[in-house]
Amino acid sequence: MSLQRFTIAVLLFLSPMSPSVSAQEAAAPKIEKRSFGAIHSGKETQLYTMKNNRGMEVSITTYGATIVSIKVPDRSAHVDDVALGYDNARGYEEGKQHIGGTIGRYANRIAHGRFVLDGHTYTLPKNNGDNTLHGGVLGFDKRMWSAQEIPSADGVAMEFRYVSVDGEEAFPGTLAAKVVFTLYKDKNELRIDYSAATDKPTVINMTNHSYFNLSGQGSGDILATVLQLNASRFTPVDEAQIPTGELRPVKGTPFDFTKPVAIGERIDTNELQLRYGRGYDHNWVLDATGNSTEPALAAKARDPKSGLVLEVLTTEPGVQLYTANFLDGSEHGKGGIAYQRRTAFCLETQHFPDSPNHPDFPSTTLLPRQAFHSTTIYRFSVMKGGVDRSGET
C-alpha cells in the first residue's frame, strides 16, 4: 500500500463513522491520473480526476488548468456530467469558447485592447473585435500548467501553477499564478482558490469558464433552469459589450434575478442590452462580497428535470451570466456532441469587465509585494420531492 493510501485509510479509520454509512460514502476520496493526449506542439497533457465519497468526480487537465468534467448524482442518484468539454487536450487547444478554462491574465473584456497603468499605456492583442477578451490570443486557458496533488484535510486537492512572463500578451510584469482545486470529501462542493504575485505593477482578473447544464452536457437547452442572483444592480454595456460605467438597478428589467426565475422567461425580450449580447452576457454587481475565508452566496441555479441545484459562492464583487449565445453547433464536445446555442450557462465570478479603464470600479491592479487571492465554490445538492435541499450534506 502506498504511503498516500495508507494515510487516507488511517484518517478514515480514526474518523467517527455511523454504522449506517453506505459503502459509497465509506470509500476513500482519491485522485486518479491519466494521459489526456498531446497538443499540436507535441507536448503531452495530463488529466487528474478527483473523487469524493459522495459520488462526485471532477476532472481537470494541465492544459489551461481546465475543468473537463463535473459528475454529480442527481435527484434519482443518476450521475450526470454537468459540464461541457472535450474528449482530449487537442479539443481545448482548437476550441474557441474557453470551455472550462482558467481565465487570465484578465478575464472578460478590456476596451480597445488598451489601458493605462502608472502613466504607461499598454496595448494588448485584440481578439474580440476592437477589444481584448479573456487574456488575449493565448490566455491562461491556452497555456500548459504544472500540477501536483497537495494535502488537504477537507478532501482531495490539486495545485496548478503557471508563470506568465513579463510582456506575455503585452501585459506588464512576470506573474506567478496558482490555482488550487479542492473537492470536499463529505459534501459535493468544489472549491477553487486563485493566488498570484507579480514583480511589477500589473492588472489581474481570474475566473473559471465552466459551461453548466444541470440536466447533463448535451441534454438540450437550459432555458427552463431557474436562476437567482444576489445582485440588485448590473453593469450595462455598449454595442461592443464594454461597460458604460453605470451600475444600473435590475428592478423592472429582464436582468432582475433577485427572485428565482427561469433563464428563458425573458431572454428574448426586445431590450437593447439583450440584443447586444444575443441574450445574457453581462456582469452583475453582487450585493454581498465575501472575504478571504468566507465566500458569499452569489447565485443559485435549479434544474427542474434533474433536480440538481448549483450554488456559487465567491469573494469576488461580480458574476458574469453567459447563456452560451454564441455556441452554434460548430464546437463538437465530449462524445462528439455538437454544442448548440443556449445549451449551457456560465457563472463567471470576477471583478468587473474593463476595470482598468474605469477608476470607479473595484480595482484590478496588483503591485509587487501584494498578494492576490480569490475564492469561488461550486456547491451541488438536489431537490427531493420538490423541496430544495441545497446546503445539506
Residue 264 · residue 232 · CB < 8 Å: no
Q: Which of 209, 282, 351, 358 is catalytic?
A: 209
Distance CA 98, CA 278 (A): 18
Q: Which of 169, 189, 348, 351 is catalytic?
A: 348
Distance CA 295, CA 241 (A): 28
Q: What is the CA radius of gyration of the chain?
A: 20
CA distances from 40 to 91, 134, 145, 339, 359 (A): 11, 22, 16, 23, 41
CA distances from 333 to 60, 97, 138 (A): 15, 11, 21
Is 209 annotated in the active site?
A: yes
**First-to-last C-alpha distance (Å) of the chain:** 30
Sheet with 30-38, edge to edge strand ranges: 30-38, 44-51, 57-61, 66-73, 79-81
Residue 31 · residue 48 · CB < 8 Å: yes
Nearest to 71 by CA among 180, 262, 221, 210: 210
Residue 105: left if φ>0, alpha if ψ -120 to 50, beta else—which one? Answer: alpha
For residue 54 the three cell numbers come to 459522495
Is 332 annotated in the active site?
A: no
**Catalytic annotation, residues:** 209, 348
